[in-house]
Each structure stands twice: as C-alpha cells, then as structure tokens.
Structure 1
C-alpha cells in the first residue's frame, strides 16, 4: 500500500522501520528540526533522521490547516496514514483523505490514558498492565474506534524508559498486522474507564519524603529518565532514576543503611541516580567517596 507516515520522537522510529519494510512509504511527516545542544544547531527529529537513512522524502510543515498543505498531502494519493506521536493536530479534511483514513499507534489500552503521556501515567498510577492500541483517528482526543490492541504487564521495577522501548516494538509489529488486514472491523471505545494522561509538568518531579513509599517508587520509575524525579542532597539536585520498595522505618527523609530512604509510610531503596553534571550511576558506584547526610529534605 501507499502509506504516509507521520511521527516525530524515538517512540515512532520502530514503527517507521516496520511499515517501510512492508509497504511503500511515499512520504514522512515530522516536526521541524529544533535547536539543540551547546551550539544550538538545528537537529532533525529521530523520525526525520531515520527517514533520511531510508531514503524517504520528509516534510516538516508547521501546520496542516492551510489549503496548500492539504493539497500537497492529497497529491500523495495515500491508501492510509500511520500516525505515531506526530505532534500536530490533523484537520478532518486530512483525516478523510487516505482511502483507509489515518491510523494512530497509542501507547495505552484505550480508553485508559488518552492524551500526551500515557506511559508515564500508567507507571505512576501503579497500573498492573498496559499496552498499545491501533486506533482509527477522528477529531476527538484519542476517542476513535480501536482496530487492534496488544497487552503487556508492567514489571515491579520497570521505568518509563523500559516500557517505552517495549511498547514501541509492540506498536510497530501490531500496526503491520493491521495494515495487512485492512479493511477490518473496529470497536468503539467504552464510555467507562476513561482517563486522561496529562502532559508531565516538571513541578511533579520534586520528591516529597512525607508521601508513602509506594507512591514515591512509582514517581521515580514513572519519571525516569525524563524529566527525572529529584531531591536535594546537601544542596545539590540529584535525579533518582531507579528504585524499589525496601524494609526499614524512620522519620520521612531519614537515610537508612545503604541508599535507603524512609518515607511517610515505609521506605525505598535508590538503585540508580544522577548527580548534577554527571552520568547516571548505580547506587554502589555513586556512594563510593560520597557520604550521604543523615536526612534528606
């Protein structure tokens, strides 16, 4: 089939590779290059860079609402568009252009966690499982009927980064299956169990040791690696990247033997952290030559 692929971040790359291996990707749409790094040079998105390696034309419009952009899209005569974390709203005119419409790979089991940050929110909420859904896009926010889904458990020690990589591969495999089966019947999303995965605010990243250990463990794993849950240790901001529930009690913020911290209820053990200006380190490596205070704020 003639496929238009629309995506931007790392999460979308596996799907681009899989679709390009099975079909003719006639164009890739991605967010425009952004200034990054110390020199603030323009850097193409991960999808843009991968499309270049695959020899596929890349388009980076700022929006798709004007007639010129829509005419350019229509001229591709696509059978279907595959959309994965693209970052632009698709007007109804664009949604209707491909023969089979626009299919979205969404990293949750819809209708749970519609919206911008479904992986983070699933981990932070303590969900036992999540997955990917292939959805027929419509004007509402992730409200379209679901063509297929795949499920996976969320491990007790998994971070958002761990889950991100697994779900990206699952979504890539599943969308290829769906494309091979078109046209196929979709099921309407249930009106029960709808939740919204709001974009992560950096203000959510500060650790409050008065909260229960179960909540803080989920916060640390859910915000790893970005933006990274953090606390201050002797005035230095330290990102906490991996953790697990631990034994031991104490006043909230009290440092227990090892890199274990007492919480409002229970305690957690920090397995990986990142000091300011340093690379992420396992706790044992981090504590060599670095003595923790008796208490963390």
Structure 2
C-alpha cells in the first residue's frame, strides 16, 4: 500500500526526489514550497519555485506559507493525515508541530555525510574544504539542525576538478534514488535508524557574497577549491584592469598549474596566476554582462598578459 506523503522542497535540486516518489506510486497529497519570489528586471513578476512548478505539472496541490507560526497553517498540515513528510532543501526550520504532524514523522534528504557539513551549503563547503567524497543521507528529522538519526547513506566521490554545479547534479539524482528506497523500506516497516556520531560535526554556513572574492594570497589548492565550489553560482571573482578599465571577472573553472610569483600576478599568456603558494590556470571566465568563455576566447577580447595583476 502506497504511503500518503507530504513533500516539502523548493529549488531544482529537490525536483528529482519529488518525481521519483510520484513515479514510485506513492500518494503525494500535498507539496509545500517557498512562496513565489519577485523576478524580472523590475522585480514585478512573481516566479514560482522549481518544486512548485513541478508539483503543478503533476497535479499536486501546492501550499506556500511564509512559516508555520500561524495555527491555521499547522492545522492545515495535520489535516492531510499524511503517513510521512519528505523534506529536501525546503528552506525553513520546521517547528515540532510539523515534525510530529504526520504518522511516521519527517524524513530529510541532506547533501553531506553527516555529521559533517550540517546546514545550508554542504555541497560548496565540501569542495572548499577539499573533501574527496560526500554523499546523500536520509535522516529522520528532529528539532535540531540536521541532527536526527540516519536511515540511509549514499556516497559520491568528488573529483579534483569537479565543480559545485557538477556535484549538485550528481547528488540530486543519488538523493532521489536514496529517498525512493528509504520510503519503500519505511512502507515495509524495515527502515532502521542510526544515531549520528558526536564526533566530526562541521557546519556548512550559507555562502555570503563577501566570500566569493578570490584571494590569490591563499595556496593554489585553496584558490582552486574556492573557484570550483562556487561554480557556476554564485561564482568566484577577481578584478583586473582591461583596456584601461578595472573590471570584475567571474571564474567558472581552473586547474592547478606550475609557477610562482607575486600573488595575483599573471605569469604567462594562458592565464596562469601566481598564488601564495603555487599557481592556478584559469580556464573558463565571464565578464559582467558577458557569456562564459574558454580562456583562449576570453583573452581575445580581454588581454590579461604577463605582469597583469588580478586582485
């Protein structure tokens, strides 16, 4: 017998799990997502979240409360009489009234190997730290921040040049299959829970705009990890003088390279830049208002030759 599921999610990352549960034959009685946000040049258009749009395509009713402080919103949630709530990147901390508002509780799909990288930006933080692997975990939620017992784990390797976008796309598919399996086990009464260890806790703070700037005084390894973690969004950047004008340049891909010099100094004609230790070669870049380009094409319109300083 299929589970009655309330699905809670917002970004494109969550859509694969929503679709996987629907394809598995579960009865998704409602979808909760963040409210439509202003969009367009003037911010006058309201855009529904990717999960909201996917739910409408599937014919599932969508609710978008700002939070669950209002008693009527809590009662509406409980009135669905769901067996379980599935939460994937919803964007709200859930109060106990919601955590306990279904027969079997709430299960979260989280993109890290808990307890490492609890919090908002586990994908980017794992790459920034140079982790060799991460994964998706299905856990039963409690009132803490990603502290609940773990039901299922799937591991994903992080390649040395893998970007945040590439890891995001790998994890969303792994997470969908993991949640499909977890709900099948839950339905069968065969889903075991294991408490998270007390050791190894790290928090993945939300990415702040101020930290997207590239600091070439760091080691080449740290600079490379910083660039790939933030690619394609929000994007790591530096400033340099191009044709007599200082411009901001976003870097979407890089490689570790040989060379040394003053941090930020361009060392050759293929955009190798000296770091505090070692060097990186910038391989894909984007000027403000421009298209992402391979370095060889970027350099045709933006001469950044040897001796130029990136800062």
TM-score relative to the length of structure 1:
0.98
Match of 1:248 in 2: 259
Q: Are 1:287 and 2:286 counterparts? A: no
2:282 to 260, 270, 288: 270
Q: Secondary structure at the match of 1:284?
A: helix
Contiguous gaps of at least 5 residues in structure 1: none
Number of equivalences: 297
Structure 1, residues 123-173: CA drift from partner, whole Å, max 9, x if none?
000001000000100000000000001001100111111000100110000
- Aligned-pair distance for 1:242? 0.7
1:6 to 8, 21, 27: 8
**Could you tell me how far apart the structure 2 residues matched to 1:268 and 1:26 are?**
50
**Could you tell me how far apart the structure 2 residues matched to 1:186 and 1:106 are?**
15
**Could you tell me how far apart the structure 1 residues matched to 2:209 and 2:71 are?**
37
Range with greater deviation from structure 2 (125-134 or 243-252):
243-252
1:120-131 alignment to 2 at 5 Å? 120-131=124-135
- Aligned-pair distance for 1:260? 0.9
Q: Are 1:238 and 2:254 counterparts? A: no
TM-score relative to the length of structure 2:
0.93
Match of 2:235 in 1: 228
Q: Which runs of 4+ in 1 moved over 2 A?
A: none
Contiguous gaps of at least 5 residues in structure 2: none
Match of 1:143 in 2: 147
1:1-297 alignment to 2 at 5 Å? 1-22=3-24, 23-40=26-43, 41-182=45-186, 183=189, 184-234=191-241, 235-257=246-268, 258-293=270-305, 294=307, 295-297=309-311
- Aligned-pair distance for 1:279? 1.5
Structure 1, residues 32-72: CA drift from partner, whole Å, max 9, x if none?
00001214210000100111111111100111132211111
